[in-house]
Amino acid sequence: MGFGIPLVMSPAGTAAISSIDFAKQGVASGMINAMRQLGGSIGLALLTAVIIGYKQQIAKASFTTAYSLGFVVCSVFLLIGLLAASCLLKTGQKK
């Protein structure tokens, strides 16, 4: 997370914003930032719910086991996101 976000988000944001009209680039920048904040909040809430729910359901489970399940769930969401991005990614020239 420490190196991945800066290396990915800047080029991805630049590519997304530069692919639309100049007049709408401010709105696009705001939407990218809002969706990043919203996604982080929802993702953290879901993973916390999974970890705490698993820990409460199985009283003997340690927090290490619960966090392991959280990382597995996070990895599944990552793979789903990668598949969606690879299927939806458009290749081509800017108009």
> Average pLDDT over the chain, rounded to whole?
83
Identify the pLDDT of residue 53. 85
pLDDT (0 to 100) of residue 70: 85
Of 31-35, 65-69, 84-88, give the range with the top mean pLDDT: 31-35
Name the band, by pLDDT with cuts 50, 70 and 90, for residue 41. very high
DSSP 20: S
Please tell me the pTM assigned to this model: 0.65
Three-state secondary-structure class, residue 85: helix
Mean pLDDT of 36-47: 90
